[in-house]
Chains A and B, each alone.
Chain A
Amino acid sequence: MTLFGERVPRVEDARLVTGEGRFLDDLGQDALEAAFVRSPHAHARIVDIDVTDALDVEGLVAIYTHEDLEGRAAEPLPLLIPHPTLTHGRTPYALAKDEVNHVGEAVVMVVAGDRYAAEDVCDRIRVDYHLLPPVVGIEASRGGGRLVHDDVPGNVAAVMVQETGDADAAVDAAPRSLELDLAIERSASTPLEGKGVVARWDADDRSLLVHTSTQTSTSVRQAIAAKLELPVDRVEVVTPDVGGGFGVKIVHPWPEEVLVPWAARRLGRPVKWTEDRREHFVSSAHERGQLHHVRVGYDDGGRLLGLSVRFWHDNGAYTPYGLIVPIITSTQLLGPYKVGAYRVEFTSLYTNTVMVTPYRGAGRPQGCFVMERVMDAIAADLHLDRTVVRERNFIQADEMPYDQGLVFQDGRPLIYDSGDFPATMARLKDLVGWDDFPAFRDRARAEGRRVGIGLACYVEGTGVGPYEGGHIRVETDGTVVVSTGLTSQGQGHQTMLAQIVADELGVPFERIRVTTGDTRRFKYAVGTFASRTAVMSGSAVALTARLVREKALGIAAQALEADPGDLEIVDGHVRVKGAGGGTVSQVDLGAVAVLANPLRYAFDEAAGRATQFAAPADPDVAPVGPGEAPGLEATGYYSPTRSTFANGMHAVVVETDPDTAEVRILRYCVVHDCGTIINPMVVEGQIHGGVAQGVGGALYERIEYDSDGQLLNASFMDFLMPYATEVPTVEIDHLVTPSPLNPLGVKGAGEAGVIPGSAAIAAAIEDAEGITLTRMPISPSELFHLRKERLVEPVETTEGHT
């Protein structure tokens, strides 16, 4: 029986739900603890730091400022993803030097016996600031009247243009055209577990062991080695259980990932820092905030002829992660459509706020919102069904692979590998009952209820390179140990990868143990982001398992005196095909592992069977042949030419309260195509979580800065992550169009659920209310005010914008 495609229960769950998880704060109980004095101002020069009052706090071990840092640790943190158009990239120092650029920027590091004492010390440190004018929000920044960084004119980090054809001319020449101004406000990843680091310096070995709650342990390792000027082989980084990442933990090294190991080495004692919720809100990263101006030209049938988009992206105070978010927005905005001539220009702007780096969806929710608002506006203008306008613009299945003519976030051409958008739409219409909705609306209206339906489509570039790898070793007891370098944040990687190996190697699922994100086990990896694990590590361990299988068959062939081509591996045993289960004709993989490693010393019973004197051997043949290696193990890598492209479509039915303007989601339907599915339960779990975050982004979550750059809702009391009570039941149908790009046919599934949330929910509210929505999220209070404006100006609302 193959496990690929089966609803195998997650091996992670029993441990995690019974409190046996091992998260960062569970570690380092013997460690000193760090806390940070962070800037209370959005923009200021540091005049003086006075620690006098703090020195007598019991438990104080050390206080550090930028002046204490030396060498590369004192330099700005790396700009991880440079780009030719990022002409004014800026990154922070691990501890602020002279100037702070957002509330929450770390200024002083305190190490004490415990976190309580460390915070007591922080309370007593006085930092004098000279206040500078803060720049908050895109409108304030793009004026350029006030500067975030003195040496960045106009606050412009980058301007980037991509075009296919002359879009503006195409819009001008089109029979019909529209202009729209659209906005998506700031949100944040907000994993339930914040960041955290424990570092241990081994003075005898002159090496560091660092545990950190990251999405990329291998790259953190390289970064720490570089910053602390240590040989890379003196640093190991391990990722324990991680309580969610959603993008924020792919950024690295965070200041604390440099400072905690630095302090551990300097003090010769283990040091730990666990981020608290308030710190996470003001010193990690946010995302989403963009303003778009769109011009679109189309014919009388709603077919797009030209699309010209100019948008402004708020990148916050620094750009360590380069332009990934706006590049993704600018390319993935196109969705499943042929838009005719396309031009996109974005300006990435500095503001005195927390920096912006990818959050699940990574720029796509904004792009999807813009494109889908355009589709709905065209439908309204032409009085066409919203699905019809979309269908008329879909790329067709027989046009795959389809080249959109742009450059994607990985620097490679934006070529959709597969997908059948008309089929996906047909399934969505069936699932939600699109054609029956008018009757439902009429019945509801008769009861005094307002209901509306909306939909949104997206295409998601997934599985970006450059590579991932796998290592598989069969132990002498038959256990199969699988390692991949990228990390896990609870997605179910251990289960999913074990399913693949079980099938490829022919071993029982229960005998497989999977390790991720531990540089002691696997040194080469990129990380977990961009819905890439199934594509990248899934393919890598499949290829690796095939290498191990080949080796096992070769060794077993000698033992069984058979041709490797006549052998198969079933249930952990190599046997002659069709020979049944006789002991003579089969050998278990553990025994093959014994044979794969000729030994001198018999340290246990299995080893005894493998010593040089245990079995008759040809005295003229080397125990390990040329080109061979001992052990039943292999390392393999997978590196694709370019990204896979998953896609999906969501439809939402909402009810709005005519009196209170509350919005209730009655149905949430998803049709999803992530290629072949390894474990439907895991994929559906990913969709459920993504939809929850999409609902959050549409109706609840919003980062609220005031004009001074103070974050007004740095807590889960006021930053409204939806509870289970706010998340609807998600109805899911899958369409499978396998990717031709990898051995498994998979695409990614991690981010999909979140992408069309704001677009689909906005459309549904618009449909229920007859009010045009141009910005998300929306609260009941805002809907109430939009209704009032409509009463004041009863002009046509949904019928076109020209």
Chain B
Amino acid sequence: MKPAPFAYHRPRSLAEALDMLADLGEEAKVLAGGQSLVPLMSMRLASPAHLVDLNQVPGLATVDVGAEGVRVGALARHSQVEHDTASYDALPLLRQALRQVAHPTIRNRGTTVGSLVHGDPAAEMPAVLMLLDGSVTLNDVNGTRDVAATAFFKGPMETDLRPGELAVGASFRRPPPGSGSAFVEVSRRHGDYAMCGVGALVTASEGALSAARVCLVGVGTRPVLLDLAPALGDGVVDDEASAALVDAAIDPETDIHATADYRRHLAHVLVRRALAEARTAAEARAA
């Protein structure tokens, strides 16, 4: 379990990093927290010829809270985002989800943007980005582009990031006033990838829901974002209608930890739980 030979690069500026990535193209992988990449390399499941280590690039370990929402830089560790009070006040869902990302030691090194770019369909943060109408900012030597979350995640470990591009940050947008959120999941052990996880975001006013969305992980090849508006009637989510929507949207698989049937069952249970928690949170914020 030692990586194959690779060239190590340590750019000192964003411009230098982008130049390197332009030169190296598909041969290069970016190292930020390394919590997924380094084990993959050690097991020789990934053998990039070049590793571009971002950690000396200034200005990327940022968490900025603005009127639009929260913007997270490429080197912001999960724990930095998790413990950022202003981010929590703006978007409680960030902390709600991050507390379920692996373990504190992994969150101390792993980066939120890195998790997004890794694109694991069981990971929490891609679902959060989708629920919060977020986007990823991709830079290359020619410029910059923002890709909406819904377009960014393409399949298991597959995103819209192109060779030569660097994900410099991600933006999570503020939901409308009166919103509440929750993230619930079931994993085999505390901190493991979820067999199924559900993030929920609802908007309520005077006890009635006006909007409800969920995003499910672990039950498809990418996070499954679902607008439950069709199941909303009289300010509540109709469980049966919601279940039908969920059933139609997910496509879980069987693996050694859980059958597809069980995952499907969890999806229904967790959607109900997440919606209930999110509604409670919305009411608490309104109070």
The 4 closest A-B pairs by CB, nearest first: A725-B190, A781-B262, A276-B1, A781-B258
* Contact assessment for A785 and B188 in the assembled complex, using a CB-CB cutoff below 8 Å: no
Q: Which residues of A contact B258 (CB under 8 A)?
A: 779-781
Please tell me which one of the listed residues A120, A278, A781 contacts residue B257 in the complex, with CB atoms under 8 A apart: A781
* Contact assessment for B3 and A725 in the assembled complex, using a CB-CB cutoff below 8 Å: no
Residue total for A at the interface (Cβ-Cβ under 8 A) = 30
Q: Does B269 contact A (CB under 8 A)?
A: yes
* Contact assessment for B266 and A660 in the assembled complex, using a CB-CB cutoff below 8 Å: yes
* Contact assessment for B269 and A116 in the assembled complex, using a CB-CB cutoff below 8 Å: no
* Contact assessment for B189 and A722 in the assembled complex, using a CB-CB cutoff below 8 Å: yes
Most chain A CB atoms below 10 A, which of B43, B44, B257, B261: B257
A714 to B, closest residue via Cβ: B43
Please tell me which one of the listed residues A278, A725, A780 contacts residue B262 in the complex, with CB atoms under 8 A apart: A780
Q: Whole-angstrom distance from the CB of B216 to the nearest CB of chain A?
A: 15
* Interface set, chain A 772-789, CB cutoff 8 A to B: 779-781, 784-785, 788
Q: Which residues of B contact A779 (CB under 8 A)?
A: 188, 257-258
Q: Which residues of B contact A725 (CB under 8 A)?
A: 189-191
Most chain A CB atoms below 10 A, which of B1, B3, B270: B1
Q: Whole-angstrom distance from the CB of B246 to the nearest CB of chain A?
A: 15
* Contact assessment for A712 and B256 in the assembled complex, using a CB-CB cutoff below 8 Å: yes
Q: Which residues of B contact A276 (CB under 8 A)?
A: 1
Q: How distant is the Cα of A662 from the Cα of B262 in the complex, in angstroms?
A: 12
* Interface set, chain B 267-284, CB cutoff 8 A to A: 269-270
* Contact assessment for A278 and B43 in the assembled complex, using a CB-CB cutoff below 8 Å: yes
* Contact assessment for A660 and B189 in the assembled complex, using a CB-CB cutoff below 8 Å: no
Q: How distant is the Cα of A713 from the Cα of B188 in the complex, in angstroms?
A: 14
Q: Which residues of B contact A660 (CB under 8 A)?
A: 186, 266, 269-270
* Contact assessment for B5 and A720 in the assembled complex, using a CB-CB cutoff below 8 Å: no
B interface residues (Cβ-Cβ under 8 A, vs A): 1-5, 43-44, 186, 188-192, 195, 256-259, 261-262, 265-266, 269-270
Q: Whole-angstrom distance from the CB of A279 to the nearest CB of chain B?
A: 8
Q: Which residues of B contact A780 (CB under 8 A)?
A: 186, 188, 195, 258, 262
Q: Does A667 contact B (CB under 8 A)?
A: no
Q: Whole-angstrom distance from the CB of B243 to the nearest CB of chain A?
A: 13
Q: How distant is the Cα of A712 from the Cα of B191 in the complex, in angstroms?
A: 21
Q: How distant is the Cα of A174 from the Cα of B57 in the complex, in angstroms?
A: 80
Q: How distant is the Cα of A123 from the Cα of B44 in the complex, in angstroms?
A: 10
Q: How distant is the Cα of A713 from the Cα of B186 in the complex, in angstroms?
A: 20
B254 to A, closest residue via Cβ: A781
A interface residues (Cβ-Cβ under 8 A, vs B): 115-116, 119-120, 123, 276-278, 659-662, 700, 702, 704, 712-713, 715, 718, 720, 722-723, 725-726, 779-781, 784-785, 788
Q: Whole-angstrom distance from the CB of B201 to the nearest CB of chain A?
A: 22
Q: Which residues of A contact B188 (CB under 8 A)?
A: 700, 720, 779-780
A702 to B, closest residue via Cβ: B256
Q: How distant is the Cα of A785 from the Cα of B266 in the complex, in angstroms?
A: 12
Q: How distant is the Cα of A700 from the Cα of B256 in the complex, in angstroms?
A: 11
Q: Which residues of B contact A781 (CB under 8 A)?
A: 195, 257-259, 262
- Write 5 A-B pairs (CB below 8 A) sorted by A numbering: A779-B258, A780-B195, A781-B259, A784-B262, A788-B261
Given A660-B266, A704-B256, A720 contacting B186 (CB threshold 8 A): no
B268 to A, closest residue via Cβ: A659
Q: How distant is the Cα of A715 from the Cα of B43 in the complex, in angstroms?
A: 10
Please tell me which one of the listed residues A715, A726, A784, A785 contacts residue B189 in the complex, with CB atoms under 8 A apart: A726
Q: Whole-angstrom distance from the CB of A698 to the nearest CB of chain B?
A: 13
* Contact assessment for B189 and A115 in the assembled complex, using a CB-CB cutoff below 8 Å: no
* Contact assessment for B1 and A277 in the assembled complex, using a CB-CB cutoff below 8 Å: yes
Q: Which residues of B contact A702 (CB under 8 A)?
A: 256
Please tell me which one of the listed residues B256, B261, B266 contacts residue A718 in the complex, with CB atoms under 8 A apart: B256
A718 to B, closest residue via Cβ: B256
* Contact assessment for B190 and A116 in the assembled complex, using a CB-CB cutoff below 8 Å: no
Q: Which residues of A contact B5 (CB under 8 A)?
A: 116, 120
Q: Whole-angstrom distance from the CB of A430 to the nearest CB of chain B?
A: 32
Q: Which residues of B contact A720 (CB under 8 A)?
A: 188-189, 192, 257
